[in-house]
Amino acid sequence: MYGIAGARRTWHARAPAAVMSAGPGALASHRTAAHLWGLEGFPAPGRIDVTVPRHARPQRRSSVVTHETLTYDLASATRR
Protein backbone atom coordinates (compact mmCIF):
# COMPACT_ATOMS: atom_id res chain seq x y z
CA MET A 1 0.00 0.00 0.00
CA TYR A 2 1.30 3.41 -0.93
CA GLY A 3 0.25 6.93 -0.05
CA ILE A 4 0.46 9.95 -2.30
CA ALA A 5 1.72 13.20 -0.84
CA GLY A 6 -1.10 15.70 -0.54
CA ALA A 7 -3.85 13.07 -0.75
CA ARG A 8 -6.55 13.17 1.92
CA ARG A 9 -6.16 10.74 4.79
CA THR A 10 -9.35 8.73 4.95
CA TRP A 11 -10.53 6.12 7.40
CA HIS A 12 -10.57 3.55 4.57
CA ALA A 13 -6.89 4.22 3.90
CA ARG A 14 -5.91 4.21 7.59
CA ALA A 15 -7.62 0.89 8.40
CA PRO A 16 -5.42 -1.39 6.26
CA ALA A 17 -2.35 0.65 7.21
CA ALA A 18 -3.12 0.04 10.90
CA VAL A 19 -3.49 -3.70 10.31
CA MET A 20 -0.21 -3.90 8.38
CA SER A 21 1.65 -1.87 11.01
CA ALA A 22 0.45 -4.23 13.76
CA GLY A 23 2.57 -7.01 12.28
CA PRO A 24 2.14 -10.42 10.71
CA GLY A 25 -1.13 -12.09 11.52
CA ALA A 26 -2.94 -8.90 12.51
CA LEU A 27 -6.60 -8.69 11.52
CA ALA A 28 -9.14 -5.87 11.32
CA SER A 29 -11.75 -6.76 13.92
CA HIS A 30 -14.74 -5.69 15.99
CA ARG A 31 -16.40 -2.44 14.81
CA THR A 32 -13.79 -1.96 12.09
CA ALA A 33 -14.51 -5.34 10.50
CA ALA A 34 -18.27 -4.80 10.80
CA HIS A 35 -17.99 -1.51 8.92
CA LEU A 36 -15.68 -2.95 6.25
CA TRP A 37 -18.19 -5.74 5.61
CA GLY A 38 -20.99 -3.19 5.30
CA LEU A 39 -23.05 -4.40 8.25
CA GLU A 40 -25.98 -2.14 8.99
CA GLY A 41 -25.59 0.08 12.04
CA PHE A 42 -21.79 0.21 11.92
CA PRO A 43 -20.56 3.54 10.55
CA ALA A 44 -16.82 4.13 10.22
CA PRO A 45 -15.61 4.17 13.82
CA GLY A 46 -13.15 6.81 14.94
CA ARG A 47 -10.62 4.30 16.18
CA ILE A 48 -9.53 1.21 14.28
CA ASP A 49 -9.85 -2.19 15.96
CA VAL A 50 -7.08 -4.70 15.27
CA THR A 51 -6.73 -8.20 16.74
CA VAL A 52 -3.33 -9.86 17.11
CA PRO A 53 -2.12 -13.17 18.57
CA ARG A 54 -1.42 -13.04 22.30
CA HIS A 55 1.96 -11.50 23.19
CA ALA A 56 2.46 -9.99 19.69
CA ARG A 57 2.88 -6.55 21.32
CA PRO A 58 2.57 -4.21 18.32
CA GLN A 59 3.56 -0.59 18.77
CA ARG A 60 0.78 1.41 20.43
CA ARG A 61 -0.98 4.05 18.36
CA SER A 62 -3.56 6.51 19.65
CA SER A 63 -6.02 5.87 16.81
CA VAL A 64 -5.78 2.04 17.00
CA VAL A 65 -7.33 -0.26 19.62
CA THR A 66 -5.31 -3.48 19.79
CA HIS A 67 -6.99 -6.64 21.04
CA GLU A 68 -4.91 -9.70 21.93
CA THR A 69 -6.37 -13.19 21.85
CA LEU A 70 -5.30 -16.65 22.96
CA THR A 71 -7.69 -18.22 20.44
CA TYR A 72 -6.13 -16.64 17.36
CA ASP A 73 -5.99 -20.03 15.64
CA LEU A 74 -9.82 -20.02 15.54
CA ALA A 75 -9.84 -16.85 13.42
CA SER A 76 -10.04 -17.26 9.69
CA ALA A 77 -8.78 -14.26 7.80
CA THR A 78 -10.79 -13.10 4.80
CA ARG A 79 -9.87 -10.34 2.37
CA ARG A 80 -12.48 -7.74 1.63
Mean pLDDT for 27-40 is 93
User: Which candidate, 34, 54, 57, 73, places its Cα nearest to that of 15?
Assistant: 34
28 band by pLDDT with thresholds 50, 70 and 90: very high
CA distance 45 to 70: 25
Mean pLDDT for 31-47 is 92
